[in-house]
């Protein structure tokens, strides 16, 4: 059986220690430069990748909400079709009323919502002023003409 001896720090000569120190310093102190070529940059416009087209985050959120809501309308439609087929009676006038009812209800609701939003925007803001001394309030009547002349009357 053979045993190999490993050199210890005391067995290393000064010359060999200096050479090893130079090797370690050279190995770790020099910088590494990546020599792989950079990708070419040209004047061609970017190409859209396959999948969802490029758009803003808000548009993407709106699009996905519309997709999910439209997918949610499929089960009630299938139920309505099943009921009409099972009853063996599908009156075109009744189907037209059923299809037109959501739109007929949505238009006034949307109009009321828009009216309420605009009424809230048109309401004047409320101001509170608290003074501790004598106050002189002066109103200025301003009149602007079409070509940019403005007249201020006290």
pLDDT in tens, 9-31: 557 889 999 999 888 888 777 66
Residue 140 near residue 153, CB atoms below 8 Å: yes
Are 97 and 80 members of one domain?
Answer: no
Are 59 and 85 members of one domain?
Answer: yes
Looking at the chain, the whole-number percentage of residues with pLDDT higher than 90 is: 3
In a domain, 134, yes or no: no
Between the CA of residue 54 and those of 13, 63, 64, 75, 116, what are the distances in Å?
Answer: 67, 12, 14, 31, 35
Domain range for 117 is 91-121
In a domain, 115, yes or no: yes
In a domain, 60, yes or no: yes
Domain total of the chain = 2
Angle between helices 57-72 and 74-87 (to 10 degrees): 20
pLDDT surpassing 60 at residue 110 = yes
DSSP annotation of 11 reads: G
Its pTM stands at 0.26
Are 79 and 60 members of one domain?
Answer: yes
pLDDT of residue 65: 87
In a domain, 39, yes or no: no
Q: Taking residues 96-113, what's their average pLDDT?
A: 80
- The full length of the chain comes to 154
In a domain, 113, yes or no: yes
């Amino acid at each position: 059986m053979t045993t190999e001896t490993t050199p210890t720090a005391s067995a290393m000569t000064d010359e060999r220690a200096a050479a090893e120190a130079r090797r370690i310093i050279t190995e770790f102190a020099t910088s590494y430069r990546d020599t792989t070529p950079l990708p070419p940059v040209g004047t061609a416009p970017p190409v859209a990748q396959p999948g969802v087209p490029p758009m803003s985050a808000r548009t993407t959120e709106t699009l996905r909400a519309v997709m999910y809501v439209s997918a949610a309308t499929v089960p009630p439609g299938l139920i309505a079709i099943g009921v009409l087929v099972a009853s063996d009676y599908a009156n075109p006038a009744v189907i037209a009323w059923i299809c037109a009812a959501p739109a007929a209800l949505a238009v006034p609701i949307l109009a009321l919502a828009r009216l309420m939003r605009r009424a809230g925007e048109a309401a004047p803001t409320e101001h509170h002023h608290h003074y501790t001394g004598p106050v002189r309030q002066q109103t200025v009547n301003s009149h602007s003409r079409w070509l940019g002349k403005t007249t201020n009357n006290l």
